[in-house]
Amino acid sequence: MKKSEGKITTIIGKGAVIDGDFIASDSARLDGTVEGNVKISGMLVVGAAGKVHGTIEASSVIIGGEVLGNVLALDKAELSSTARVIGDIRTNVIVIDEKAIFQGRCDMNQEESKPRKRPVRESRAGKKSAKDALKEALLEVEEESRASEMPNELAAASMEQRDISEV
């Protein structure tokens, strides 16, 4: 924890309601309600009575209350046993206590705008796909059935020739 994160410089008390975005430098504790986005340069503590209905951005967060929105915590996100988070969390480190409610996705990869490429597979020289193998097997069965019909046709043709030559 950085020194600036250890000292809470802004407190929103229980019962206070902020209708709109809340931005603060350093660290803050929220025991009231914010109906909007929260952007803190340091650590944000959302107390058990605290509510945020919007996106949270901070270097680290400790959530004990309710958050309806996404959370971006660059360093660490911690959800205590009384936390209720409905939204996605993006962070490097996450701690979720028992009984905490978290419904959303968690992304712990902080690399921005770098789409991951799928690893290139080695060439499959000499190997067939299942579809190709199935096609080849069906062709072999057809050829075998034609070949088995051929001797019967040849035998029938030779019998006809014998019948004609006997006449």
DSSP 76-110: EEEE-TT-EEES-EEEEEEEE-TT-EEES-EE---
Task: Check whether 28 has a pLDDT greater than 90.
Answer: yes
Q: Find the mean pLDDT for residues 90-95.
A: 94
Q: Three-class SS of residue 40?
A: strand
Strand pairing partners for 61? 44, 77
Q: Are 9 and 31 in contact (CB under 8 A)?
A: no
The candidate with the shortest Cα–Cα distance to 44, out of 59, 22, 55, is 59
pTM: 0.63
% of the chain residues with pLDDT over 70: 74
Tokens 């058990």: give the residue. 48
Tokens 């046709």: give the residue. 153
**What's the confidence (pLDDT) of residue 4?**
42
> How far is the C-alpha of 85 from the C-alpha of 73, rounded, in Å?
14
The domain ranges of the chain are 3-107, 128-167
Q: Are 58 and 73 in contact (CB under 8 A)?
A: yes
pLDDT in tens, 118-159: 565 555 556 667 888 888 888 888 888 777 776 666 656 555
